[in-house]
């Protein structure tokens, strides 16, 4: 790990800390928000809660690993690497669990006919697992050509996922109500933009040649992407579930009671 200035270390530290708080707060939100949507959309919100719960735990460990990897010298002198390696595996294990769940969440909220939804989901999950597994050897290598080879390999399943999401999803939502279609197209934009962040952040490390800015850039980049792709995206899934519940004439129990009072 490269030595860091005080500001560089603190930037990554504070981003991790902010993310732990955001993930746990979102967990509570998704659990409570479940009651606001029709029962058939609740699994999507439970999956959102699982995603941010898993991520909250991993960010807590990432924060600990970051602290262990550096020793404070002074405000002027900054932070020196202790030699304890920063554990990059927390991130990859997190993705291995959460990326398939994010896809499950999307397909669950669509409530597609079973044969259509399951087939698409299986292909997406296999591609997501391949993308992450192929990224890890490159992420943990110090050799620039190894990093690039695994980057290119990982981009193949990545491109496939984007292609399925853009192409097949557009077909799948045809005929759904206008507001739902609008929310879904926003959700797809969130996926396309935030998922692009990951390969870009990876490239920081390859091209900044692992200096201090490269390391901090990767950590901050992945962290912003994770907050958006998990918590912010989950809120959109909630809006879709709510819009679909409303469109189907479903109302929460208390609202129903009030209406009859």
Which residues bind to ligand RET, rule: CB under 6 A? Answer: 95, 98-99, 102, 131-132, 135, 151, 154-155, 158, 195, 198-199, 202, 226, 229-230
In angstroms, what is the minimal distance from the CB of 242 to ligand RET? Answer: 22
Sequence-ordered strand ranges (E) for the chain: 70-74, 78-81
Report, in Å, the least distance between residue 257 CB and ligand RET.
38
Say if CB 227 and CB 194 are below 8 A apart: no
> Residue 103 and residue 161: Cα distance in Å, rounded?
10
Indicate the DSSP class of residue 83: S
Nearest residue to ligand RET on Cβ basis: 135
Q: How far, in Å, CA of 259 to CA of 261, rounded?
A: 6
Q: Which is nearer to ligand RET, 73 or 209 (CB)?
A: 209
Rounded to a whole number of angstroms, the minimum distance from the CB of residue 179 to ligand RET is 25
Nearer Cβ to ligand RET (66/95): 95
Nearest-approach distance from CB 72 to ligand RET, in angstroms? 30
Angle at 190 between CA 59 and CA 7, to 5 degrees: 40
- Taking the least distance from each CB to ligand RET, the nearer of 159 and 258 is 159
Nearest Cα neighbor of 235 from 109, 124, 59, 91 is: 109
Smallest separation, CB 92 to ligand RET (Å): 8
Token pair, residue 184, equals 């879904």
For the chain, helix (H) and strand (E) counts, in that order, are 9, 2
Shortest approach of ligand RET to residue 199 CB, angstroms? 4
Task: Give whichever of 36 and 205 is closer to ligand RET, judged by the CB atom.
Answer: 205
28 φψ region: left (φ > 0), alpha (ψ -120 to 50), beta (else):
alpha
Which of 30/95 has CB closer to ligand RET?
Answer: 95
C-beta separation of 37 from 242 below 8 A: yes
- Comparison of 43 and 252: residue with beta carbon closer to ligand RET: 43
3-state secondary structure 118-140: HHHHHHHHHHHHHHHHHHHHHHC
Q: Looking at beta carbons only, is 29 or 202 nearer to ligand RET?
A: 202
> Is-contact 46 34, C-beta < 8 A?
yes
Distance of closest approach, residue 160 Cβ to ligand RET, in angstroms: 11
């Amino acid at each position: 790990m490269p030595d860091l200035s005080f500001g560089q270390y603190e930037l990554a530290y504070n981003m991790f800390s902010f993310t732990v708080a955001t993930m746990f707060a979102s967990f509570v939100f998704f659990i409570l928000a479940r009651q606001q949507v029709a029962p058939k959309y609740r699994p999507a919100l439970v999956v959102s809660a699982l995603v941010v719960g898993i991520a909250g735990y991993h960010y807590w460990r990432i924060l600990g690993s970051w602290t262990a990897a550096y020793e404070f010298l002074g405000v002027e002198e900054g932070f020196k690497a202790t030699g304890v390696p920063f554990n990059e595996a927390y991130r990859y294990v997190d993705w291995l669990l959460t990326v398939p769940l994010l896809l499950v969440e999307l397909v669950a909220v669509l409530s597609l006919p079973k044969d259509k939804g399951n087939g698409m989901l299986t292909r997406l999950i296999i591609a997501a697992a391949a993308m992450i597994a192929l990224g890890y050897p490159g992420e943990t290598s110090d050799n620039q050509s190894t990093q690039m080879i695994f980057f290119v390999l990982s981009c193949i399943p990545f491109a496939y996922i984007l292609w399925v999401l853009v192409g097949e999803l557009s077909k799948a939502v045809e005929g759904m109500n206008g507001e739902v279609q609008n929310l879904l197209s926003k959700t797809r934009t969130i996926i396309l933009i935030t998922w692009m962040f990951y390969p870009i952040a990876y490239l920081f490390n390859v091209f900044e040649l692992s200096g201090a800015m490269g390391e901090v850039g990767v950590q901050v980049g992945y962290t912003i992407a994770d907050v958006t792709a998990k918590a912010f995206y989950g809120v959109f899934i909630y809006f879709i579930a709510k819009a679909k519940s409303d469109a189907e004439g479903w109302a929460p129990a208390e609202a129903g009671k009030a209406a009859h009072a």
